[in-house]
Structure 1
Amino acid sequence: MLDHRLVQTAVIGHKNSDHPVILPMDAWELDRWRGAHPGYSYWCGLQLGGCGGELSDRRYTTKVCHFAHHRTAPVCHRKNNGESSADHLFIKRGVQRLLGKRKMKGRVETRDLGTGPGDAVDVYLPDSRRRLRFQLSAVDYRAWRRADDELADDAEGIDWIFSSEGPITQQFTGRHGYCLRVRCETVGGERRVHIGAEARDRTVSWTPLEDCTVTPSGIVTPDTEKIRLTRPRPRPTAFPLQGGLAFALVPEAGVPADSPFATKDRHLLVADVKPVDSPIVRALVSLPADTEVPPAEHVYRVADGARLLIAEGTAGWAVEARRYTRLNAHDAQRTGLWTPPAAPEPMVAPTVPAPRTRKPDPVSAANPVTSSEPPAAPAPLTRGEMTTAVRDALAQHARLRTTTTWETLARTVSPALAQYSDTGRRDLLVAVDSPLRENVPVLSALVRDRGEPLPYLFRVLSELGVPRAAVSHRIKRWAAVETERAFAAYGVPARAMPPRLSLEPEHPTVPQPATARKPAGFAARQRSADHRAVAPQHGRVDMASSDLSKVRDLRALVTELERMLPALGMRSRKRARKTLSSAQTWLAAYDGEALTTRQPAAVVRKKAGHFVLIVEGALETARESVRAAKQNEEKQRAREERLRRAADLGSRAKRATHSPFTAAEDPVGRLTRQLADVAAGGRTVALKHLDLGSGGSDPRHVLAAVDREMGSDVPLLSALVTGSEEVPVPFFRDILRTVGLAVPQTDEALLKIWRREQERAYAAHGNPPRPLPPRLVPTASQAAPPRT
């Protein structure tokens, strides 16, 4: 029987030998090798994972020369036969030679970590109590951590040298500024060992092992020594803190000199920190160094951008703040970090001293008189403090995507706000939003009065410098757009703001045909005549011809229909949008917006009553569509409930008989396990590849049941299911509605939600699990418009 295995490496002398050799591949090199070593015998060594049988060298001129087993050799199950299969023995021999050259004591041994004897090479230096680990097999973070703890039991330092690049080497590079690597190159009948220093830019500088130095601080190459001297301090791990926090500095407490959180570009201070809904704790606070250290007698708030810093190997932690604001006296007292100072004692006029000192009465001293006056109330806020407090409160409402009222601001900011007149409120809001900037939303638009913008909002905008705010009829629409801008700017995460609505009226443009040259003044007169002819058709709607009550009814109907759009089906939504388009065009012309095309002229000539009728018809159709959708949803829920009950009965029967799952297994449980495996692998799965069993279950219903059983804050596993072209399944909106989440109106928003839920699923089912990114879609109750 012929041996067809191309064995390239062996050991010399006997089966337990650790003296490796590589057979030259070319015939002329093999001839030179035989002449130089006529007495060598070759073995399929046990330290190579071989059978221990003897090998013979085979010389070929038409193919690669290689070792071959003798006919009498035992059956060999050796996995690796190539050049790199003996690298651990070449590394072991190279380190032994280096220690002998440097006259150092050391123990070198190979390790089998589960995949073969060549998994690792361990070096122990007793004089410096240091270890070197040449990691030649693949390893994840948890296996590396266990090995590092094991090696650290009898060593004061460990150098890790990896054979291949991977997540662990990236961890080392990011934490220490460099990573040690090892590789072997074939030279004749052996492999030369090189040590490399991998920098942050992924470049590796290689040095032969014999040119390296072993010191008490580890193995050293010229490049590693240079990186060690210039590498930055390892960066602590950072986690975002949701909800913000408040802090007050403690200047009398000192910061540890060797704190891992100290950097040149930040102030590191001791403070009493109170996160939202948590007790007060003393910790380190890292503040930007481009500003002065804030005074210690105040309390400060970090509304967003705070991060928790944790340094590996230490029990300490710190809070990093990018921006912070000073709290007013009222809010500072509510945190528990500050109390108002006591009022100074009144000055007493000096009196003539008595001839002798009177001793205090023992009875009076034992029973001091207590004052019946109530404690002093907090000092009232100054004008600047009140402006800052109202601005912060409105920013918090924008972050939560809610509007507010003046009464709510009085309860949360200061009771003094309730005593403000309309003029005082207007002046305060002007100060809150001054100066007017295009890239900063006007927070005054968030304040509502009976669900509508403030009646004096146009005066606020006029004083801020908004053009035509005093005469425009579109203040309500302007406030709605500005509210969306505030939600986008202060949301978490922040989004791109839509453009600010202009209150300037637009004039219609009528194209002029090209004609021959006319007399002077003719063009101006012609434009004036054309404007008078076109204006009744394309300009503002004649207010006298439109009943104001009908216009108000039309606005209310349009608003109601807009709110119902997300809940409509495809056909109903298409009709509703077409109806809304014509009604909104008419209302825009009624509000003074100019129409730049001739196409909507027929729409503008209609009366308000006409659009009231067509919008009422569209509303009736929309209500019927919503009722039908609710009925279908109830039927789906009933069917899913029957599926779950049947699954529960089936699982109980299987547990009673101790039999494995069959084809009639619960499709919800089957699909949940499949999607969990897909999430653990960081992949997606096509709809046609779902494992629904042989029961013919509808994937829409089963996916909805899977996500409904997972819980409120658990990632949606249905986001891992793709359509035909790596897009969400067509019924992903129905799944969101079924599990109680808000349904986005645009496909772009739906795609962002779908991708974020994939990221959340990968984080939840990863190995190890990672912190979940925040969910982009709110619940249906949170997305509903607030009632005021």
Structure 2
Amino acid sequence: MLDHRLVQTAVIGNSKSDHPVILPMEAPELEVWRRRHPKYTYWCGYELGGCGGRLMDRLYRDKACHFAHVAGGPTCGRAATGESSADHLFVKRGLRRLLDKHGQRGEVRTRDLGSGPGGAVDLHLPAARRRLRFQVSPLDYRSWRAADLDLGGDVDEVDWFFRTDGPLAEEVLARDGYILRFRLETRGGERRVYIGTRTHDGPSVRWDPLEDCRIEQVGLVAPSAGATPPLGRRTKPFTFPLAGPLVFALDEGTAVPEGSPFASEGRRLAMADVRPAGSPIVRAVLSLPDDTAPPSAAHVYRAVDRASMLVREGVEGWAVRLDRFVRLDAHEAARTGLAGVLPELPEQRPVPAPQTRQPDRPSPVVPPRAVSSATVRKQRAKDDALVLTRDQAVVRVREILTDAAAEGRTLRWSDLGAQLGNPLKSVSERERIDFLVEVDSPLWDSKAVLSVLLAGDNGGLLSCLPAVLHRLGVGGAQGLSTDSPPLHAWVKQERERGIALYGTSPRPVPRRRPVTTPTRTLTAQQWRDVGASLRGVQQHKRERTDARHATAGEIRQVRALYDRVQRKMSDLGGAFRRTKRTNRVMLLARTWLALTAPGAQTPANRSPEQAQALRTSAAELSAELNAIAAELEAVKAQYW
């Protein structure tokens, strides 16, 4: 019986060999291969999941060369026969050669994970107490987790090398901050192994040949990676957002456990009683920024931004991370259960009215004037404002502006000063700039600039806003005036980002763009093209003066230019502000095309637009459309 399967891989020597080979597919290459290796014998080896029978090479001129089983051998149930079916053996051989090259002691073994002997390749480095797992077959998270625990039983670290990207690779990237990859490429009768590294800093993978790598105490080190991938496990805890408001009170009498796994650079830890929304009070570690004044244990605070829960895998307990907070007044704090109970107000008794001239009649009792709760809150806020420190004022302004962004409104500086009292009274322009810079610091791309929500007494932008933006590092803000159209457009966009970030339903926002003016200046070549079109218009006016003289080719040209401009405006969206001239030309083109369409009749009672279109030549309309298209190209180059 003839063997019609295209078997591309085999082992050399005997059926138990782990020395792989790929048969060259082209006839000239196979002839060279035979001359170089006349004594090779090929086998459908057990390490390939094969039957153990002998193979022979078949040379063809009209189709791909391949291996075939020798007649009379055992029945073969080998599943994979392509050039990648021996990848585990090529990885195994490459690792052995690397160990010999660097004089290292280690053990290399292939693993059968249920689908054949080529599921994975393990390298054990006893001196470094480390294992390297090259995962050839696909793996899900639960299987990976179980294998990771099993491989790490007698070593300190396990390095995973994945063959392809996928959900598991992305999970490891999120956990460790980097992933290690491997791939193979065919070179003649070999499959060359490459090692790749990918980090959060970039989506691309940097590849190096396995033979160029080196084995050290930290494992396998690729030349292009250097010290880029963090060697070791994840240093930061996992973060899960907490829904709803959160209140807390510090406990200065309890120290944070020594060597807390939640410690990180730029943060301070403190023990606190924490009450998330809809939950009982719990004792937890609190992670706060160390560049702000610490809260006082004598007060209760509420998180301004959404708080997050920090979890370290394999570590008992949890922590809460928050960046901004505001102090609650005594009555609000008492309602949280984290502060002392306020004494009840004394019962108010009615005050008798003064005696009238008629003592024999009872005088009516006038009750005391009722004071609304809103008035009480305003008075309490006013009293609190008088004692706010500068740091407390910064936190309070952040909260006020965040609430304003969530509601889609702006706030006058004078109204803000009335709310906060002393900290913002009689401040100079320089002091106001310093204060607003502190309110918006630190600023990163995922935050919105809160200062854009403040307006001057005239309702316009704050006069100091350009200086504040420049101090915060917003590009293009230096030297702009508050009546600059680019600045107004940028402020409008930044306010929309604030609504998206701090609204009741937060949603992702694009990265902040610098304050730039869309450049509509044409290049020299574009100006030459426009000039040539205008000269053509003048020449055309002497020859054909209206739309009724347009040829079929000219009509097609105008329609193509009109469609081109339409597409470009659709692609740019809001980045291109349509001017009156643009609207006029596009309306003229639509009318012109309707009047020059095949079978169109010239109306007897013409509208002003139709009359103007009939007076316009094809060359004149083409020149106008060309100029708008060039202008759109310039805007697109500015943004993309």
With the shorter chain as reference, the TM-score category is: 0.5 to 0.7
Residues 155-182 of structure 1 show CA distances to partners (whole Å, capped at 9, x for unaligned) of 1111111111112222222232321111
Mapping 1:139-538, distance limit 5 Å: 139-200=139-200, 201-228=202-229, 234-255=235-256, 258-289=259-290, 291-302=292-303, 305-339=306-340, 377=343, 421=370, 425=374, 428=377, 492-493=504-505
- Answer with 312-321 or 157-166: which moved more: 312-321
Residue 237 of structure 1: how far off its partner (Å): 2.0
Distance 1:442 1:186 in 2: 60
Question: Structure 1 residues 238, 138: CA separation in 2 closer, same or farther (over 3 Å shift)?
Answer: same
Residue 51 of structure 1: how far off its partner (Å): 1.4
Distance 1:326 1:217 in 2: 48
Corresponding residue of 2:80: 80
TM-score (norm 1): 0.44
Question: Structure 1 residues 193, 248: CA separation in 2 closer, same or farther (over 3 Å shift)?
Answer: same
Letter in 2 for 1:3: D
Distance 2:149 2:230 in 1: 26
Residue 30 of structure 1: how far off its partner (Å): 1.2
Contact residue 140 and residue 168 of structure 1 kept, 8 A: yes
Contact residue 305 and residue 323 of structure 1 kept, 8 A: no
Residues 58-81 of structure 1 show CA distances to partners (whole Å, capped at 9, x for unaligned) of 111221111011221222221111
Distance 1:441 1:224 in 2: 48
3-state secondary structure, aligned to 2:505: coil
Q: Percent identity?
A: 51
Question: Structure 1 residues 222, 442: CA separation in 2 closer, same or farther (over 3 Å shift)?
Answer: closer
Unaligned runs of 5+ in 2: 347-366, 386-399, 410-456, 460-498, 509-640
Distance 1:150 1:420 in 2: 77
3-state secondary structure, aligned to 1:89: helix
Contact residue 177 and residue 227 of structure 1 kept, 8 A: no
Question: Structure 1 residues 491, 30: CA separation in 2 closer, same or farther (over 3 Å shift)?
Answer: closer
Letter in 1 for 2:343: A
Contact residue 243 and residue 304 of structure 1 kept, 8 A: no
Corresponding residue of 2:129: 129
Letter in 1 for 2:54: E
Corresponding residue of 2:65: 65
Corresponding residue of 2:474: none
Distance 1:299 1:428 in 2: 17
Distance 1:208 1:495 in 2: 43
Contact residue 175 and residue 234 of structure 1 kept, 8 A: no
Question: Structure 1 residues 378, 309: CA separation in 2 closer, same or farther (over 3 Å shift)?
Answer: farther
Residue 290 of structure 1: how far off its partner (Å): 5.0
Question: Structure 1 residues 101, 116: CA separation in 2 closer, same or farther (over 3 Å shift)?
Answer: same
Residues 73-92 of structure 1 show CA distances to partners (whole Å, capped at 9, x for unaligned) of 22222111111110100111
Residues 613-668 of structure 1 show CA distances to partners (whole Å, capped at 9, x for unaligned) of xxxxxxxxxxxxxxxxxxxxxxxxxxxxxxxxxxxxxxxxxxxxxxxxxxxxxxxx
Q: What's the Cα RMSD here? A: 3.7
Letter in 2 for 1:167: P
Contact residue 406 and residue 502 of structure 2 kept, 8 A: no
Question: Structure 1 residues 220, 256: CA separation in 2 closer, same or farther (over 3 Å shift)?
Answer: farther
Letter in 1 for 2:131: R
Given the alignment of the two structures, is residue 91 of structure 1 paired with residue 40 of structure 2, yes or no?
Answer: no
Distance 2:121 2:5 in 1: 27
Contact residue 8 and residue 67 of structure 2 kept, 8 A: yes
3-state secondary structure, aligned to 2:144: helix
Contact residue 158 and residue 218 of structure 1 kept, 8 A: no
Corresponding residue of 1:779: none
Corresponding residue of 1:623: none
Question: Structure 1 residues 277, 494: CA separation in 2 closer, same or farther (over 3 Å shift)?
Answer: closer
Distance 1:425 1:331 in 2: 14
Mapping 1:653-672, distance limit 5 Å: none
Distance 2:46 2:244 in 1: 61
3-state secondary structure, aligned to 1:161: strand
3-state secondary structure, aligned to 2:227: helix
Letter in 1 for 2:72: T
Residues 187-238 of structure 1 show CA distances to partners (whole Å, capped at 9, x for unaligned) of 1211111111122222111111122111222111123432136999644222
Contact residue 58 and residue 66 of structure 2 kept, 8 A: yes
Distance 1:168 1:313 in 2: 20
Contact residue 157 and residue 217 of structure 1 kept, 8 A: no
Corresponding residue of 2:110: 110
Letter in 2 for 1:298: H
Distance 2:3 2:229 in 1: 51
Question: Structure 1 residues 324, 48: CA separation in 2 closer, same or farther (over 3 Å shift)?
Answer: same
Distance 2:344 2:192 in 1: 79
Unaligned runs of 5+ in 1: 341-375, 381-417, 444-464, 468-486, 497-788
Question: Structure 1 residues 46, 62: CA separation in 2 closer, same or farther (over 3 Å shift)?
Answer: same
Question: Structure 1 residues 419, 94: CA separation in 2 closer, same or farther (over 3 Å shift)?
Answer: farther
Letter in 2 for 1:193: V
Contact residue 441 and residue 489 of structure 1 kept, 8 A: no
Question: Structure 1 residues 74, 280: CA separation in 2 closer, same or farther (over 3 Å shift)?
Answer: same
3-state secondary structure, aligned to 2:215: strand
Contact residue 307 and residue 321 of structure 2 kept, 8 A: yes
Residue 44 of structure 1: how far off its partner (Å): 0.7
Distance 1:266 1:421 in 2: 48
Residue 309 of structure 1: how far off its partner (Å): 1.2
Distance 2:217 2:178 in 1: 19
Does 1 or 2 have the higher relative contact order (CA < 8 Å, sep 6+)? 2
Distance 1:423 1:330 in 2: 16
3-state secondary structure, aligned to 2:84: helix
Contact residue 7 and residue 82 of structure 2 kept, 8 A: yes
3-state secondary structure, aligned to 1:158: strand
Letter in 2 for 1:305: R
Distance 2:307 2:274 in 1: 12
Distance 1:119 1:431 in 2: 70
Contact residue 243 and residue 303 of structure 1 kept, 8 A: no
Distance 2:46 2:159 in 1: 28
Corresponding residue of 1:351: none
Corresponding residue of 1:21: 21
Letter in 2 for 1:377: P
Residues 551-580 of structure 1 show CA distances to partners (whole Å, capped at 9, x for unaligned) of xxxxxxxxxxxxxxxxxxxxxxxxxxxxxx
Distance 1:60 1:18 in 2: 27
Letter in 2 for 1:4: H
Mapping 1:602-617, distance limit 5 Å: none
Distance 1:132 1:45 in 2: 25
Residue 112 of structure 1: how far off its partner (Å): 0.9
Question: Structure 1 residues 427, 285: CA separation in 2 closer, same or farther (over 3 Å shift)?
Answer: closer
Contact residue 46 and residue 52 of structure 2 kept, 8 A: yes
Distance 2:124 2:191 in 1: 23
3-state secondary structure, aligned to 2:60: coil
